[in-house]
Amino acid sequence: MRDEETPYTGECLFEEVIAADVTPLESEVAGLIVETLDLKIEPAHIEPEAPLFGTGLGLDSIDALELSLAISRAYGYRLRSDDPHITETFSSLRALCSAIARSRTK
């Protein structure tokens, strides 16, 4: 509960709502995304359901290649461009983490 004398900025509440909805794997992978791609945002600011490409984080195909390599090294899960579900896998942080959780070897 916020103090009535402290002006409400909305920022803290927003971050707490996002953080409460994020799994440990999603937090870990968000950190991997930020570190691998040298993004200028905090991992906690990547919303689990937001698109990773286009209007979301704005990633591109080169980012996808770099991220695929990092995921393979970290989790033993090889993302393949010929996978018929690759677009769905990369649709959001949550979808990516779901695929990693199903197929990881590390």
For domain 11-103, the CATH class is mainly alpha
Question: Taking 60 as the threshold, does the pLDDT of residue 14 lie above it?
Answer: no
Q: What is the mean pLDDT of residues 6-28?
A: 61
Q: Domain limits of the chain?
A: 11-103
pLDDT at 56: 85
Q: What is the CA radius of gyration of the chain?
A: 16
Give pLDDT tens digits for 56-104: 899 999 999 999 999 999 999 999 989 999 999 999 999 999 999 999 9
Residue 35 and residue 41: Cα distance in Å, rounded?
10
pLDDT at 64: 94
- CA angle 23-24-27, nearest 5°? 90
pLDDT at 4: 46
